[in-house]
Amino acid sequence: MRSFRTEIESPIVEKDIIELERKIRQFNGGELDEEKFRSLRLARGVYGQRQQGVQMVRIKLPYGKVTSNQLLRICDVSDEYSRGRLHITTRQDIQIHYVDLDRTPELWAQLERDDVTLREACGNTVRNVTASETAGIDVDEPFDVSPYAHAVFQYFLRNPIGQEMGRKFKVSFSSSDADTGLSYMHDLGFIAKIKNGERGFKVMLAGGLGSQPRHADELYSFLPTDKIVPLMEGVIRVFDRYGERKSRAKARMKFLLKDIGLEGFKVLLEEEQLAIPIQTYPIDFESYPKPVVANVEVPSVQLEENEEFQQWKSTNLVLQKQKGYVAIGIKVLLGDFYTDKARELAKLVQEYAAGEIRLSLRQNILIPYVKEELVPFFYSELKKLGFVEAGYNKALDITACPGTDTCNLGIASSTGIAEELERVIKAEYPQYISNPDVVIKISGCMNACGQHNMANIGFQGMSVRTKDKLVAPALQVLLGGGNFGNGKARFADKVVKIPSKRGPQALRLILDDFNANGNRASFADYYWEKGEQYFYEFLKPLSNIENLTQEDFIDWGTEEKYKKEIGIGECAGVIVDLVATLFFESQEKIEKAEEALAEEKWAASIYYSYQSIVNSAKALLTSEKVKVNTHSAIIKDFDKLYVETGKIDLAISFEDITLQLNKNKPTQEFAQSYVEDAKQVLETLEAYRKLELAHA
């Protein structure tokens, strides 16, 4: 396990992996609380699986770009530590399942040899920065957003302000007004713009999916590119202090905006400006690596110009703005493929394209920079791998999360029903294979990892209970969602809940009605013209649960009788508020603050000191069973219960001590004084706690 220490070039990465290894030993030895350990491993991409004793490991791949060498490295890791299956997520990550917890440090170390990380792929962190998979080749883009997405990824990786928020934070970049990065459903969404010859972005704030989807607000119609990193730092600082922490259901950015409004958020954002270490952050897009396309002779290939090839070309080729090149889309069923095929794909793009692939938000693969004359050759090679199914990004291309296959939160199968619906479309509605308008998405629960509530036709895993208290798998049918571009969209309506086995019947009724009455409108327009009640009426008969058969109690993809089993969700990295643990964490934060001081990282040191101060107050409030839902509430309640009552003498108010954070510039002098304040607060509060226990 420890051989990785001599193989990793970066001391920071090596320290990170060693810490994970140490914490695993402490956890296995009973020295570390399970819930606290969960928080740490989630921030290192290690996620508990539905099956006991194994982990899902999420590999963070910024904006879905993967080089051939990185893909080969991921294959090596999957073969060595897992089962050789790779799963593409709707956030352009790759997940591998059934990994032994004790081997995760080795696995991570192997990935880092090709600059691939697990860091902050899960947990209460800044998650993977996503972007349009066509970034850099999009015929409609004003400029390539890849350098900007990469800069954001690098700046916030391991940044202390985004390590322990109330919930996760998601960012996207869209290449053009088509908004294929889906800005409207992100905590921060950036849409590329040019104004008076200057590069910038339209900025969308506080969108989200889940059980209560929220359309993002427009924060800026145009923000110059050198301002996006300072802006994001301010947004995260506000979210970290004022965002909900106790209730997972209310802990996303969208709920904070709902509570205080956009103007209220702007006021808080302005209050943070002095503390932000950089007011401008120019991004040198010209130094971003240019693609190097293989210069090879066109291999001779005998290929009949048959109907299958023509259909594939019509649905799976993407035009590039670079003359003479196209991108090839690979439809990956449910995002799952295996390392034997991945290895051959990596070699193919290395030898005949630009040595990279892009993972898409619809769980597919895009190969950019394919010379037009090489298309028949690529088709023949991809066909050997089973990668030439027509319908890339079309109606046949159904998105689905893992659901009850591996996820703790899965209520009903999403992958099983997705496979069946694709079979129905192929057999009964072949015209939809090339239809880009009808988007179908499926999630196994309300958390919307399959993005069901932004689809034209969406299904959400649920359950139904009969009068005899029998439980069967079910689907919520959602209709009418759509992306209209430039940050504008609609979320789907919840129309009706039906037993899962009737999902194909529902799809048939919907598509048959659309074919008969759609009048060539888009599906979203057709739905909103007809209205929710119209669809409810003809789908309502499918909701009857008084006539269920034995088959209805068996979910898709299984032969066993359905049981509703929901584990503990880990997306938020739950933290148990044990008083002693909190004081210990405060000391750890002070040590990190001092390390940052030694490295002359003043802003990082200041934020660690802030976290220590708030954490120490949280410890005492927890001992009194006071709600500790937000940092701002902790600060005010501590003053009210301890300082103003005279129980603890801090000379000044606790709020004045703590919020020096945003009243001072991040200088060396302030960083040094603030860490001393953090030490004094911890010492005072621990002494009070010891005295309190002595008299208990």
524 in the same domain as 443: yes
**529 domain-assigned:** yes
pLDDT digits (tens, 9 = 90+) for 348-367: 999 999 999 999 999 999 99
**290 domain-assigned:** no
CATH number, residue 36? 3.90.480.20
214 in the same domain as 155: yes
460 in the same domain as 315: no
**Helices 375-384 and 307-316 sit at what angle, rounded to 10 degrees?**
100
Last residue of a domain, one of 384, 408, 428: 384
Local structure of 88: helix, strand or coil: strand
**56 domain-assigned:** yes
531 in the same domain as 506: yes
Q: Domain of residue 690: give its range.
A: 579-694
**101 domain-assigned:** yes
Q: What is the mean pLDDT of residues 155-181?
A: 95
Q: What percent of the chain has pLDDT over 70?
A: 95
Q: Secondary structure of 538-604 in the HEC alphabet?
A: HHHHHHCCCCCCHHHHECCCCCCECCCCCCCCCCCCCCCCCHHHHHHHHHHHHHHHHHHHHCCCHHH
| The model scores a pTM over 0.85 | yes
104 in the same domain as 36: yes
Q: What is the mean pLDDT of residues 495-516?
A: 94
CB atoms within 10 A of CB 505: 15
Q: What is the mean pLDDT of residues 287-299?
A: 92
Tokens 């603030």 belong to 674
**392 domain-assigned:** no
Indicate if the pLDDT at residue 567 is higher than 50: no
d(CA 636, CA 453): 38
Higher-confidence residue: 464 or 4?
A: 464
Indicate if the pLDDT at residue 656 is higher than 70: yes
Q: Please tell me the least confidently modeled range out of 125-139, 353-367, 514-528, 674-688.
A: 514-528
**273 domain-assigned:** yes
pLDDT digits (tens, 9 = 90+) for 659-696: 999 999 999 999 999 999 999 999 999 999 988 888 75
State how far the alpha carbon of 510 is from the alpha carbons of 425, 441, 483, 486, in Å: 12, 15, 20, 28
Last residue of a domain, one of 112, 147, 181: 112
508 in the same domain as 586: no
Indicate if the pLDDT at residue 616 is higher than 70: yes
CATH number, residue 279? 3.30.413.10
pLDDT digits (tens, 9 = 90+) for 240-285: 999 998 887 789 999 999 999 999 999 999 999 999 999 999 999 9
265 in the same domain as 139: yes
134 in the same domain as 103: no
CATH number, residue 640? 1.20.120.330
**615 domain-assigned:** yes
CATH number, residue 350? 3.30.70.3340
406 in the same domain as 525: yes
Please state, rounded to an integer, the average pLDDT across all residues of the chain: 90
171 in the same domain as 267: yes
d(CA 218, CA 524): 23
101 in the same domain as 141: no
Q: What is the mean pLDDT of residues 456-483?
A: 90
* Burial of 516 from C-beta contacts in 10 A (0-12 / 13-18 / 19+): exposed
CB atoms within 10 A of CB 344: 14
603 in the same domain as 460: no
If one counts the domains in the chain, the total is 5
Nearest to 403 by CA among 481, 490, 500: 500
Local structure of 5: helix, strand or coil: helix
Are 232 and 152 within 8 A, CB to CB? yes
**375 domain-assigned:** yes
Last residue of a domain, one of 51, 79, 112: 112
Higher-confidence residue: 406 or 221?
A: 221
Radius of gyration from C-alpha coordinates of the chain: 26
